[in-house]
């Protein structure tokens, strides 16, 4: 019995990773490590909050900073709407910790260096990379395992995908998803 459950779970995950999750489909539980090095689990929010999951290429880069800051500026609005904002990239956790500090980001950033979560959502990826950035006079080398495309998803409280944007404009991503949610309400 236990083997059947494991086998069915594996097949479920594989089928999604081949085509991605489509609108109105249930999103399988996923996990990743946050900027503090702790495991974040999507299941914790089922029945409690919507999850706004946005993929971005690399911490501390131009477009990604604009996108993160747009979510930061709208963060109180997201809280009032009971939405958990989560950014995810192939960056190492230390990069994410620095990015949160540098930009004063109040929401969760997740590390997906092997692209496991990106594969689940069928987000295209390319090789990772290394960049150097300065923060408060110190030089930091930031490494990422993969570089994902900029895609955004919204998962309902019941765990279904209700919004998907694979043509994201970084600076207005937050306002575009906000408009979508406001139309629902």
Choosing from 53, 64, 120, 146, which is the catalytic residue? Answer: 64
User: Looking at the predicted structure, is the pLDDT value of residue 53 above 50?
Assistant: yes
Angle at 6 between CA 160 and CA 124, to 5 degrees: 50
> Pick the residue with more confidence: 91 or 2?
91
**What's the CA gap between 30 and 181, in Å, rounded?**
23
User: Looking at the predicted structure, is the pLDDT value of residue 10 above 90?
Assistant: no
68: CB partners within 8 A, 6+ apart? 56, 87, 99, 103, 105
pLDDT, residue 50, reads 98
Which residue carries 């110190």 as its tokens? 138
User: Looking at the predicted structure, is the pLDDT value of residue 155 above 90?
Assistant: yes
pTM: 0.87
Phi then psi for residue 69, to 5 deg, are -70, -30
Report the CATH architecture of 30-184: 3-Layer(aba) Sandwich (3.40)
pLDDT, residue 19, reads 62
29: CB partners within 8 A, 6+ apart? 41, 42, 43
**What's the CA gap between 167 and 7, in Å, rounded?**
35
SS3 annotation, 34-52: ECCCCEEEHHHHCCCCEEE
User: Looking at the predicted structure, is the pLDDT value of residue 9 above 50?
Assistant: no
62-73 and 93-103 are packed helices; what angle lies between their axes, rounded to 10 degrees?
A: 60
Q: What percent of the chain has pLDDT over 90?
A: 80
Q: What is the mean pLDDT of the chain?
A: 91
**What's the CA gap between 33 and 67, in Å, rounded?**
21
> Pick the residue with more confidence: 16 or 34?
34
69 is catalytic: no
């Amino acid at each position: 019995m236990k083997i059947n459950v494991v086998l069915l779970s594996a097949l479920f995950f594989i089928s999604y990773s081949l085509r991605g999750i489509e609108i109105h489909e249930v999103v399988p539980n996923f996990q990743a490590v946050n900027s503090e090095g702790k495991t974040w689990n999507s299941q914790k929010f089922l029945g409690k909050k919507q999850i706004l999951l946005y993929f971005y290429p690399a911490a501390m880069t131009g477009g990604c900073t604009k996108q993160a800051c747009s979510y930061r500026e709208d963060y109180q609005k997201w809280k009032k709407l009971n939405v958990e904002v989560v950014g995810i990239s192939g960056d190492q956790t230390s990069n994410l910790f620095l990015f949160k500090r540098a930009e004063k980001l109040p929401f969760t950033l997740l590390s997906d260096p092997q692209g496991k979560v990106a594969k689940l959502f069928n987000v295209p990826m390319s090789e990772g990379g290394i960049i150097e950035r300065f923060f408060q006079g110190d030089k930091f080398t930031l490494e990422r395992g993969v570089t994902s495309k900029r895609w955004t998803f919204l998962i309902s409280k019941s765990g279904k995908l209700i919004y998907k944007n694979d043509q994201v404009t970084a600076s207005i991503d937050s306002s575009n998803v906000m408009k979508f949610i406001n139309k629902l309400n």
